[in-house]
């Protein structure tokens, strides 16, 4: 007896959900499910449409259960069932699918049980590139961040002890212990300043001023560390992307890794849609272009020439006359590598073989255009 066939759409969905972190239906399910969970807490709205709210919530839960089963089945077929089940993604899928039913079975109030749908929001985290970059920055900057955290905790505790010592006699209700003074220390060090507990002695106010200044410094350090880490990570990502684009250009194929790294630091990438004018005839030329992917059309007197992957153009203005000699536009979506005039001269000085190749190509094109 043959196995029953799944519907084509269901089969395609199973493949998609097994191979990707998030699909479009999953994003919709998260958005709608969280919105219904919030609506569940608004009594007038829930009472007016509780049938619809309950139906949508159960549909979202069924979707996440189905998604979890599909991914688990796919992992088992690949003999990676335990690897998936114990991974962060697998545990999140399991919690998203099983937390609410388990809470309901254990007798929790339905409104309280559905609040566990907040875990659905975490499913979008793997699909956000910026969050993956943040995770890398936090891992790489763990040492400096922890050092600043230690300073923060030291100032927090020392200021609590100092304020307890200075204010306990004049404000016994607010500063009757070090733990009680911690609330004031947290509010002051984070520069929030709720104002419900404030020092009234001169020395207490002096300590408070010092704590507020320390708070600005601590959070400034954290901001600086994260900003520097993000900048370094962004440069690293851009370098890798540019390296990949440079390696596709045959013109640079003969260069060694060190030379390619040198070129990569000089080039910047430019992604352009189709029918975009890159160069206009008569303009001042200050850069040349390499085609990493795509195609451009050169409008020459009496003819039009198309250049594809690996070709370069714009070098004529850098070698002799600074004025552009032709109009050039993209014919389709293209990725270009741009080399500015200053970097062009540096590159030619460091790599004479590239200079000879560019010069020979420029002379050939000049003869063709006559």
**Boundaries of every domain in the chain:** 8-127, 142-233, 250-369
- Residue 117, SS3? helix
What b/e sequence results for 251-269 when a residue is b if at least 16 CB atoms lie within 10 Å of its CB, and e otherwise? Answer: bbeebeeebbeebbebbee
Sign of the Cα pseudo-torsion (29, 30, 31, 33, in order): positive
Edge-to-edge strand list for the sheet holding 334-340: 268-272, 334-340, 287-293, 312-313
Contacts of 58 (CB under 8 A, 6+ apart): none
What span, in angstroms and rounded, lies between the C-alpha atoms of 307 and 315?
Answer: 14
Architecture of domain 250-369: Sandwich (2.60)
> For residue 280, is pLDDT > 90?
no
Tell me which of 236 and 112 has the higher pLDDT. Answer: 112
Query: Which alpha helices (H) appear in 20-128, and where do they start and end?
Result: 24-40, 43-48, 50-77, 81-85, 88-105, 110-114
Q: What is the dihedral of CA 245, 246, 250, 252, to 10 degrees?
A: 180
pLDDT at 237 over 80: no
Whether the pLDDT of residue 102 is over 90: the answer is: yes
Closest by Cα among 81, 5, 65 to 29: 65
303-327 pLDDT, tens digit per residue, is 888 888 878 888 776 666 667 878 8
- State yes or no: pLDDT of 253 exceeds 50: yes
pLDDT interval class at 105 (50, 70, 90): very high
Share of the chain above pLDDT 70, in %: 87
Residue 262 pLDDT level (bands cut at 50, 70, 90):
confident
Q: What is the pLDDT of residue 11?
A: 45
Q: What is the pLDDT of residues 177-226, one digit of tens each?
A: 999 899 899 988 888 877 788 889 999 999 999 999 999 999 999 999 99
The whole-number average pLDDT for the span 152-161 is 93
Characterize 192-223 residue by residue with b for buried, 16 or more Cβ atoms within 10 angstroms of its Cβ, and e for exposed. Answer: eeeeebbbeeeebeebbeebbebbeebeebbe
State the DSSP string of 177-197: SHHHHHHHHHHHHTT---SSS
142-233 domain in CATH 1.10.287.70?
yes
Query: Model confidence over 62-74: pLDDT tens digits?
Result: 999 998 988 888 8
Residues 7 and 15: their CA atoms lie apart, in Å, by: 13
Confidence of residue 7 (pLDDT cuts 50, 70, 90): very low
pLDDT score of 281 more than 50: yes
Q: What is the 8-class DSSP label of residue 77?
A: H
Q: For the chain, give the percent of residues with pLDDT over 90.
A: 25
Query: Helix (H, G, I), strand (E, B), or coil: what is residue 330?
Result: strand
| φ and ψ of 312, to 5 deg | -135, 160
């Amino acid at each position: 007896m043959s196995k029953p066939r799944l519907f084509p759409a269901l089969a395609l969905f199973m493949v998609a959900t097994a191979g990707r972190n998030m699909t479009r239906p999953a994003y919709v399910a998260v958005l709608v499910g969280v919105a219904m969970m919030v609506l569940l807490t608004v009594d007038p709205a829930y009472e007016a449409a509780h049938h619809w709210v309950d139906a949508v919530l159960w549909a979202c839960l069924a979707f996440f259960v189905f998604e979890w089963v599909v991914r688990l089945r796919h992992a088992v077929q690949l003999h990676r069932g335990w690897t998936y089940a114990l991974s962060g993604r697998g545990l999140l899928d399991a919690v998203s699918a099983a937390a609410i039913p388990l809470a309901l079975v254990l007798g929790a109030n339905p409104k309280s049980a559905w609040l566990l749908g907040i875990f659905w929001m975490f499913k979008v985290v793997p699909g956000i590139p910026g969050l993956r970059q943040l995770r890398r920055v936090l891992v790489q900057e763990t040492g400096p961040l922890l050092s600043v955290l230690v300073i923060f905790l030291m100032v927090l505790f020392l200021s609590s002890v100092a304020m307890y010592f200075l204010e306990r006699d004049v404000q016994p209700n607010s500063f009757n212990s070090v733990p009680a003074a911690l609330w004031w220390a947290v509010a002051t060090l984070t520069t929030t300043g709720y104002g419900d507990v404030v020092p009234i002695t001169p020395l207490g106010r002096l300590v408070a001023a010092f704590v507020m200044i320390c708070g600005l410094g601590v959070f400034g350090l954290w901001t600086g560390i994260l900003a520097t880490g993000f900048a370094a990570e962004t440069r690293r990502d851009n370098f890798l992307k540019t390296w990949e684009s440079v390696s596709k250009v045959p013109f640079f194929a003969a260069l060694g890794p060190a030379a390619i790294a040198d070129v990569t630091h000089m080039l910047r990438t430019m992604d352009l849609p189709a029918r975009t004018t890159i160069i206009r005839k008569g303009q001042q030329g200050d850069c040349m272009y390499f085609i990493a992917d795509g195609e451009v059309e050169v409008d020459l007197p009496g003819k039009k020439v198309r250049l594809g992957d690996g070709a370069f153009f714009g070098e004529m203005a850098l070698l002799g006359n600074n004025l552009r000699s032709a109009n050039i536009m993209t014919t389709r979506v293209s990725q270009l590598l741009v080399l500015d005039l200053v970097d062009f001269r540096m590159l030619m000085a460091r790599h004479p073989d590239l200079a000879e190749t560019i010069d020979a190509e420029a002379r050939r094109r000049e003869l063709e255009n006559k």
